[in-house]
Amino acid sequence: MNAKKFLFTIFIAVISSILAVVIYSIFFSEPNRVEIVQADPVPIKQASIPQVTMQLPDLTQAAEKTVHAVVHVKTKSRGREYDSNNPFYEFFFGPGSGYQQEPSPVMGAGSGVILTSDGYIVTNNHVINGAIEIEVTLNDKRTFPATLVGADPTSDIALLKIEGDSFPFIPYGDSDRLKVGEWVLAVGNPFNLTSTVTAGIVSAKARSINIISNRNQSYGIESFIQTDAAVNPGNSGGALVNQNGELIGINTAIASRTGSYSGYSFAVPVSIAKKVVGDLMEYGTVQRGLLGVGIREVSPELANELDVEIDKIEGVFVLSLSENGGAEEAGMQVGDIIVSVNGELVNSVPELQEQVGRHRPGEIVNLLVIRDGRKKTFDVTLRNIRGTTSIITSNSNDLTLGATLKELSDSDKRRLGLRSGVQVVELNEGSLKESGVKEGYIITKANRIAITSVDDFKRVVTEVKEGLFLTGVYPNGRVVYYAVNPQE
């Protein structure tokens, strides 16, 4: 009996437990249950997935076409002379009798671009400036002595010549058609590493960084192509080429706080380099065509400074006019805003310099200007640095102003106590003779620039805009100054 009661009790307990679970699941379970549902898979071929492909340009052909036409330029220049300036010796034996240390030669290096099969090479002026020897090494390891045909500090372009034929060369491209964002190659010899190619894009055009003016203490043409192709010391004078392997610029400078590449490089556009090279080949010196205006970019700051009303920020503002200059004779006025040259828009000083710099003295350029809100056109005849329309040649007496000059020997310098200078050994009719200069006069400075060679003197004369002030000494020690008018 007791066993039956025990089994009955267990049966009731089991039934009660089952009922309790069922009742709880119906009335007390959580309503927000998470259900996992397996979705039918979508075939990949039916899915709408955008296809993104990034195709970089193939620059191998451009590199192959150009690397053999870029050369390594090595230079040797005179070092600086150091005098002991011993007052004991100078008291008894006169100025310059102290001990003088013979200067050690200074070696330099850069790059150059072969332009013709007969060996004309373009490079930067600062690569060969002051060089007494120039050597060129081709990519195939052949080495040639190079002759300086001519140089132009105002554009930082120089032209060399090596003897031979059948040299590889790079054809000219069109830098005017170059677009911001376009891929370019820089070919050169950085850190004496020959035949180095780097790639980048054009970051900007018509850049001015004032590097040419700072180097030459003169008014330079700056309308650089800015790229992010890596350029380092030794690349100067090398090639900037487009994807077709055409020359579009001469690598010239970098923006850097360390002296090495740190983001941007700058190249003289071939539109300028081509004209300079042509002048140097034909005349031996560059023919600068000048408008005869002082200019500044249009800006709100300019308007406030000059208290003038400017309807639109565009063009280049005429601040001044040269007396008897081309712009003045054409009827232009101070306050005119130049907006185009021969139909090409100009919105900055570098763009105006680049357009005018393509022309020679005597040529006519058409300017579109804005005056008092109205557009006017002027045909301006460009002048040379002396205010005339004639061509200046380097083999004429023009650049020596009617004189035959010679460089001082080291013994002459020591005897006279001079560090530099060129001597007038013969005078013909010209500006020096008219100014009272006598034969034997030693020119030590011209317009406060030290003269160490005849080329230095010619370069200063080429850059003269108004007058020439000479500092010098005669062999008897008498210091004399002359004001010279270099006008023809």
Calpha distance 356→364 (Å, rounded): 10
Report the length, in residues, of the chain. 488
Strands (E), 167-238: 183-188, 196-207, 224-227
* Helix (H) or strand (E) segment spanning residue 371: strand 364-371
Task: For residue 350, give the DSSP letter.
Answer: H
Calpha distance 162→120 (Å, rounded): 7
| 58: annotated active-site residue | no
Q: Cβ of 283: how many Cβ atoms within 10 Å?
A: 17
Give 67-114 as a DSSP string: GGGEEEEEEEE----EE---HHHHHHH-TT-S-EEPPPPEEEEEEEEE
Give 459-486 as a DSSP string: HHHHH-SS-EEEEEE-TTS-EEEEEE--
Which of 111, 223, 236, 265 is the catalytic position?
Answer: 236
Three-state DSSP at 206 gives strand
**The tokens of 111 are what?**
């790059």
Q: Are 183 and 59 in contact (CB under 8 A)?
A: yes
Calpha distance 113→267 (Å, rounded): 13
Q: Are 379 and 479 in contact (CB under 8 A)?
A: no
| 435: annotated active-site residue | no
| 126: annotated active-site residue | yes
Q: Cβ of 404: how many Cβ atoms within 10 Å?
A: 14
Calpha distance 57→183 (Å, rounded): 8
Q: Cβ of 254: how many Cβ atoms within 10 Å?
A: 22
Which of 97, 111, 126, 155 is the catalytic position?
Answer: 126
Which of 152, 156, 336, 455 is the catalytic position?
Answer: 156
Residues with active-site annotation: 126, 156, 236
